Structure 1
């Protein structure tokens, strides 16, 4: 059972691993935090997990702004 759970976790993080491998790793904790949050947000938008109801560019921008602490 544990092996099965680990495979699900590994499959969920494969998109992050693919991006980070190309960049030769992350140099600081702050960079890692922001990069992983951004990759996860884009992946969740792509899968349709975040935006309930109407899917618009404005809602996607709002989500990204919330994750990165930006003001629009």
Structure 2
């Protein structure tokens, strides 16, 4: 069987989805801020769409990235 591709059947390309999610998760931006930033770049993305992307894909990204994070101490 073929491996399930999580971004299949999405209206926007993978790099746009990941870019919006990265900016939202990394910086203190609101969904509406990201919507405005995408409009400045010529993309019409609604803030609720970005919200849905974050809700859907953030847990999967966390699972994929967790093994590569450096461990820290509480000192």
Fold in common (TM above 0.5): no
**TM-score (norm: length of structure 2):** 0.30
Structure holding more helix per residue: 1
**TM-score (norm: length of structure 1):** 0.31
- Of structures 1 and 2, the one with the larger relative CO (CA 8 A, separation 6+) is 1
